[in-house]
Structure 1
């Protein structure tokens, strides 16, 4: 296989903020694997770089150091072969794995979901994320996207219920509230009983990963389910988390690719743990791949493409009410747009054969 990497920069319609950080632009590496006249595409975001070793230079260097003498028709075998070498660089592994799955499906002449033996995800609803800002701006974000079935609301503190009350004046849709691992247990305990009345149907990662005692207490007392995000990123963490969380937000990049993400979603079903299929700041390249496995999840949060002002190309998208629309064609359906300002220059050539 031939490997090429492309540096890209995207921008959202609004500056993305949560309790942990502010992201004015999204840097990433597009990964292109080619064989027999076809190309598959993956994406590695430069997100939480200190945690995930995901700086673009690092991702490019690690990928171009690989020997890609592998079978383009066997992406799972490719993942098994290369995962030990990229264990400390999960986004690079994920981008490579997504590109390998995309390529295999294109070589087979079928959409990715069909190649994986999954149902067509078309029509599944996604939530829409309302990033942290002033209350007026958050209300404006909601009003710009009427009719979605679920809104994922970022809150800086657990007791910032005035934000939810203001949003509730403009929609009857349920709220999924995300603390991004930044809340304090005591503040949440004081407002837990008020959440159902505000239409909150789930909480996501309210506390830091190390706050195990607080999470256990919260799960015992909470009238709404609590989902893990930062606390569960890889398949080996799913089973232990079943005793601490009601659900898990599975993200392809954090998992290290489609191969482990599929394993996580299937284990959630086996254990009776609810699942959400989520995303990071990604372009259509990454989101298109995730969309094809959406039928395995109980909830879907793939709104990154709806938030973007500058994209890397075209692929799976969401309609005006947040329902998945596949791009058609083979593989993920992603097609790069080389005229987009997201693309930063010439590709880097790899060591593939």
Structure 2
């Protein structure tokens, strides 16, 4: 019988993490461990309120999985059946699946990327995200955190501050920029008016500017946008790729949204089949979650895996950053 445990990770942030729908100064994630007394596997859950995930819900669902027979799992097939029957939140599902897969790989002497059919992890360039702030704070923020070492920056925006904030980032740095709207626009024509003001040479793409429910608006926007439009909130653990292709130029796959390594690989394959560009992203995670993402990252066109650098004290040290690239320990 396997021994499972869960532990809350109380993570203080270096600065207020403000996006269009909320702001936070700390996060509660979870560390899930499975062991047979000799071999161990660990996985991270980073709940996100956008998808109805709270720490309290994940703890309740974890207890349900224990009662349903999680300690008696003897294979990945057993585990996947259990997770299908009891369907926990995607973040918890990823933590449990990845912990077991890491345990299995350790037990069998396999590399995780091998088990997933992926190329070996290599140094991974990542963008760095500038949260929403007053435009007058941008230059000091970029200087304090030495952000010009990154090959690109992502700028979180809301409807109210978007133009001034993006223009200020473009003024104080020569880095190319990704604009992330986190569903803050409602009208495609208003969004197009904003996009028309941006430098076409400096902005790489815009990420999920309108709510995921605005399918018709995205279909209207796609052929008119001066920049590629990338889906984030519109892609969770399942997606209609025929519809996505009509709305977006690419998709952002996050392991916490996908609910597991195996489903993330499936989504990646479907994106390729539908000729969509691919981005691998993250929630606010420790280096355990980022280490996991790096097991897949070589297969993606763009990486946004910077969130462990937002933590005041990162507990695991599994990944380090140097000159804008990520390296495994």
Tell me if TM exceeds 0.5.
Answer: yes
Q: CA deviation at 1:307?
A: 1.4
- What does residue 129 of structure 2 align with? 129
> Normalising by the residue count of structure 1, what TM-score does the alignment of the two structures yield?
0.85
The CA distance in 1 between the partners of 2:308 and 2:9, in whole Å, is 15
1:230 aligned onto 2:242? no
CA gap of 1:319–1:82, structure 2 versus 1, over 3 A, is farther
CA gap of 1:80–1:239, structure 2 versus 1, over 3 A, is farther
Alignment of 1:272-351 (within 5 A): 272-321=275-324, 323-327=325-329
The CA distance in 1 between the partners of 2:260 and 2:8, in whole Å, is 19
Q: CA deviation at 1:208?
A: 0.9
- What does residue 153 of structure 2 align with? 151
Residue deviations 1:60-102, cap 9 Å, x none? 323433313223xx54x24531232342522211110111121
The CA distance in 2 between the partners of 1:307 and 1:159, in whole Å, is 22
Which of 152, 155, 162 pairs up with 2:164? 162
1:114 aligned onto 2:114? yes
Of 184-193 and 16-25, the range deviating more from structure 2: 184-193
| More contact order relative to length (CA 8 Å, sep ≥ 6) | 1
The CA distance in 1 between the partners of 2:133 and 2:24, in whole Å, is 12
**2:148/2:175 contact within 8 Å kept:** no
Alignment of 1:8-87 (within 5 A): 8-35=9-36, 37-48=38-49, 51-52=52-53, 55=56, 56-68=58-70, 69-71=72-74, 74-75=75-76, 77-87=77-87
Matched position secondary structure for 1:233? coil
Alignment of 1:196-275 (within 5 A): 196-197=199-200, 199-275=202-278
**2:90/2:237 contact within 8 Å kept:** no
**2:116/2:262 contact within 8 Å kept:** no
CA gap of 1:66–1:31, structure 2 versus 1, over 3 A, is farther
Residue deviations 1:79-127, cap 9 Å, x none? 5312323425222111101111211222233432233232122222111
Of 20-29 and 211-220, the range deviating more from structure 2: 211-220
CA gap of 1:115–1:222, structure 2 versus 1, over 3 A, is same
CA gap of 1:173–1:79, structure 2 versus 1, over 3 A, is farther
Q: CA deviation at 1:59?
A: 4.1
Of 22-31 and 49-58, the range deviating more from structure 2: 49-58
The alignment of Structure 1 onto Structure 2 pairs a total of residues equal to 323
The CA distance in 2 between the partners of 1:59 and 1:131, in whole Å, is 31
The CA distance in 1 between the partners of 2:294 and 2:326, in whole Å, is 7
CA gap of 1:242–1:303, structure 2 versus 1, over 3 A, is same
Matched position secondary structure for 1:25? strand
Alignment of 1:163-178 (within 5 A): 163-178=165-180
Residue deviations 1:208-258, cap 9 Å, x none? 112222211111210111011111112443443122111111011111111
**1:86/1:93 contact within 8 Å kept:** no
Listed as ranges, the gaps of 5+ residues in structure 1 are 328-353
Listed as ranges, the gaps of 5+ residues in structure 2 are none
